[in-house]
């Protein structure tokens, strides 16, 4: 299974340029890579306008193009509303990332199962865009907990790869948590 996403940049004229990433679109995948490696205006603009299609997102666009399945070009939308409609109309896109106002935003959907068995129906609700940093921290904490639980279940000879991944992710999550809290505090002090 893949978790599909798009990475996009809101231009000064109101148009949006976006590129597709096939795998690992969740916040601790593509989202973390955006925060760690594409977190400036220039990097975000270059990424969205030159990536086109990537099987997965790496530290550089060139690395992201290695072993990609096709060579689709970036897509441009005349307005933000057109871009949002595109996201809402393409249910296979589970995450949309947008650089605007000097930071990454993430759009998501909520999914609800109504009923049971053959009578069940599924509804998706568009949540819109929110700042990526808090979403990454929340998601990252859940992943850390899941990997720590997996490590306990699989811990026959002491520490294992689940512990190591949880430790590595925790360092990154803690860093972005501190950054996010600093930004929130700065905004509150300025108000």
Over the chain (191 residues), the average pLDDT of each successive run of 10 is: 92 98 96 98 97 96 92 96 93 91 91 87 87 97 94 75 94 97 90 81
The owner of tokens 């929130």 is: 184
The contacts of residue 101 (CB under 8 Å, 6+ apart) are none
Question: In this predicted structure, what is the pLDDT of residue 90?
Answer: 85
pTM: 0.90
Cα 15 to the center of its chain, rounded Å = 21
Question: In this predicted structure, what is the pLDDT of residue 158?
Answer: 67
- Whole-number Å distance between alpha carbons of 6 and 38: 14
Question: In this predicted structure, what is the pLDDT of residue 101?
Answer: 95
Q: Strand runs (DSSP E) across the chain, as ranges?
A: 4-10, 16-21, 53-54, 75-77, 93-100, 103-114, 121-131
Nearest 5°: the CA angle 101, 64, 26 is 60
Question: In this predicted structure, what is the pLDDT of residue 58?
Answer: 97
Question: In this predicted structure, what is the pLDDT of residue 157?
Answer: 65
Residues in the chain: 191
Q: Please give the radius of gyration of the chain, using alpha carbons only, rounded to the nearest integer.
A: 18
């Amino acid at each position: 299974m893949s978790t599909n996403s798009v990475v996009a940049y809101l231009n000064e004229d109101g148009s949006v340029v976006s590129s597709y990433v096939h795998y690992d679109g969740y916040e601790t995948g593509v989202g973390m890579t955006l925060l760690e490696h594409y977190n400036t205006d220039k990097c975000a603009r270059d990424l969205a306008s030159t990536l086109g299609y990537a099987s997965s997102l790496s530290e550089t666009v060139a690395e992201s193009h290695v072993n990609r399945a096709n060579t689709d070009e970036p897509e441009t939308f005349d307005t933000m509303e057109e871009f949002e409609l595109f996201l809402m109309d393409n249910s296979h896109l589970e995450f949309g990332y947008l650089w605007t106002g000097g930071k990454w935003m993430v759009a998501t959907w909520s999914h609800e199962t109504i009923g049971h068995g053959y009578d069940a129906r599924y509804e998706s609700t568009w949540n819109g865009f929110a700042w990526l940093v808090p979403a990454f921290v929340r998601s990252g904490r859940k992943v850390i907990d899941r990997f720590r639980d997996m490590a306990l279940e699989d811990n026959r000879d002491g520490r294992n790869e689940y512990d190591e991944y949880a430790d590595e992710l925790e360092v990154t999550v803690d860093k972005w948590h501190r950054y996010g809290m600093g930004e929130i505090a700065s905004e509150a002090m300025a108000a």
